[in-house]
Structure 1
Amino acid sequence: MFPTLPADGAARRTPLPVFQYDDVDSPGDVIDTLLLTDFVTGRQPWARTVRLAKVRRGVVLVPERATVTRTAVERNRAARLATGDGWTLRVVTWRGRGAEVTVTAVDEATGTAVLDEIVTAGAEPVRPGTAPIGFWHQDPRRGAQRDNRRIDTPVWSAIRPNYPAEAAAALDALMTTTPETITGRLLLMHGPPGTGKTTALRALAHEWRRWCQVDCVLDPETLFGDPAYLAEVAVGEDDDGEEGEERTRWRLLILEDCDELIRGDARERAGQALSRLLNLTDGLLGQGRRVLVAVTTNEDLSRLHPAVTRPGRCLARIEVGPLSHTEAVDWLGVPAGVPAQGATLAELYALRAGTATAGAVPVEIGGYL
Structure 2
Amino acid sequence: MPERNEPLRLIEFDPTAADPADSMPWSAALDSYSTPRDLLDMLTLSLFGRGVQPYYRKQQLDRVRPDAPLRPPDSRIARSVIESDSQSILVLGDGWTLRSDRWADKSATLEVIAVSDELAERIIGESARDAEVATDTDQTSVKMGFWHQGDRGPVRRALPVTTPEWPEIRGNYSAPVAGALDRLMASGPKDIRGRLLLLHGPPGTGKTTALRSLARTWSPWCQADCVLDPEQLFAKPGYLMRATMGAEGEDDESDRWRLLILEDCDELIHAEAKSSSGQGLSRLLNLTDGMLGQGRDVLVAISTNEDLSRLHPAVTRPGRCLAQVEIGKLTPAEARSWLGDTPADVPAAGATLAELVALRDRAESIAVRTEYTDGGMYL
TM-score, scaled relative to structure 2: 0.80
Q: Is the 8 A contact 2:53 2:113 kept in 1?
A: yes
Q: Is the 8 A contact 1:337 1:351 kept in 2?
A: yes
Q: Is the 8 A contact 1:266 1:274 kept in 2?
A: yes
Q: Is the 8 A contact 2:195 2:299 kept in 1?
A: yes
Q: Does 1:283 align with 2:310?
A: no
Q: Tell me which residue corresponds to 1:292.
A: 299
Match of 1:120 among 129, 133, 136: 129
Q: Is the 8 A contact 1:82 1:89 kept in 2?
A: yes
Compute the displacement of 1:3 (Å): 9.0
> What is the CA–CA distance in structure 2 between the aligned matches of 1:31 and 1:253, rounded to whole Å?
35
**2:162 maps to amino acid:** D
> What is the CA–CA distance in structure 1 between the aligned matches of 2:179 and 2:275, rounded to whole Å?
35
Q: Does 1:157 align with 2:164?
A: no
Query: Following superposition of structure 1 onto structure 2, how do residues 334-353 of structure 1 map, counting pairs within 5 Å?
Result: 334-340=341-347, 341-353=349-361
Higher alpha-carbon deviation: 197-206 or 295-304: 197-206
RMSD, aligned CA: 3.3
Percent identical: 49
Compute the displacement of 1:67 (Å): 1.9
Higher alpha-carbon deviation: 229-238 or 161-170: 229-238
Q: Secondary structure at the match of 1:287?
A: helix
1:75/1:13 Cα in 2 relative to 1: closer, same or farther (>3 Å)? same
> What is the CA–CA distance in structure 2 between the aligned matches of 1:263 and 1:12, rounded to whole Å?
52
**2:354 maps to amino acid:** A
Q: Secondary structure at the match of 1:58?
A: coil
> What is the CA–CA distance in structure 2 between the aligned matches of 1:15 and 1:178, rounded to whole Å?
53
Match of 2:213 among 203, 211, 231: 203
Deviations 1:130-149 (A, max 9, x none): 33333332335x23333333
**2:197 maps to amino acid:** L
Q: Does 1:32 align with 2:41?
A: yes
Q: Is the 8 A contact 2:344 2:359 kept in 1?
A: yes
Q: Secondary structure at the match of 2:303?
A: strand
Compute the displacement of 1:260 (Å): 1.3
Query: Following superposition of structure 1 onto structure 2, how do residues 243-282 of structure 1 map, counting pairs within 5 Å?
Result: 247-282=254-289
Query: Following superposition of structure 1 onto structure 2, how do residues 80-99 of structure 1 map, counting pairs within 5 Å?
Result: 80-99=89-108
Q: Secondary structure at the match of 2:127?
A: helix
Query: Following superposition of structure 1 onto structure 2, how do residues 70-89 of structure 1 map, counting pairs within 5 Å?
Result: 70-89=79-98
**1:125 maps to amino acid:** A
Q: Secondary structure at the match of 1:286?
A: helix
Q: Secondary structure at the match of 1:121?
A: coil
Compute the displacement of 1:315 (Å): 0.6
Deviations 1:288-330 (A, max 9, x none): 2222111110111122122211111111011222333333343
> What is the CA–CA distance in structure 1 between the aligned matches of 2:280 and 2:57, rounded to whole Å?
36
1:347/1:114 Cα in 2 relative to 1: closer, same or farther (>3 Å)? farther
> What is the CA–CA distance in structure 2 between the aligned matches of 1:259 and 1:13, rounded to whole Å?
54
Q: Tell me which residue corresponds to 2:251.
A: 240
Q: Tell me which residue corresponds to 1:302.
A: 309
Larger Rg: 2
Query: Following superposition of structure 1 onto structure 2, how do residues 36-115 of structure 1 map, counting pairs within 5 Å?
Result: 36-115=45-124
Gapped runs of 5+ residues in structure 2? 1-10, 368-379
> What is the CA–CA distance in structure 1 between the aligned matches of 2:16 and 2:165, rounded to whole Å?
54
How many pairs align? Answer: 352
Gapped runs of 5+ residues in structure 1? 362-369
Match of 1:139 among 141, 150, 155: 150
Deviations 1:247-299 (A, max 9, x none): 44422221111111111222233233222221221123433222211111011
Deviations 1:148-167 (A, max 9, x none): 33333333233323322222
Deviations 1:54-85 (A, max 9, x none): 11243342345222222233453332222234
**1:136 maps to amino acid:** W
Higher alpha-carbon deviation: 322-331 or 115-124: 322-331
Compute the displacement of 1:173 (Å): 1.2
**1:30 maps to amino acid:** L
Q: Is the 8 A contact 2:22 2:51 kept in 1?
A: no
> What is the CA–CA distance in structure 1 between the aligned matches of 2:102 and 2:120, rounded to whole Å?
20
Q: Is the 8 A contact 1:185 1:281 kept in 2?
A: yes
**1:347 maps to amino acid:** E
Compute the displacement of 1:98 (Å): 1.3
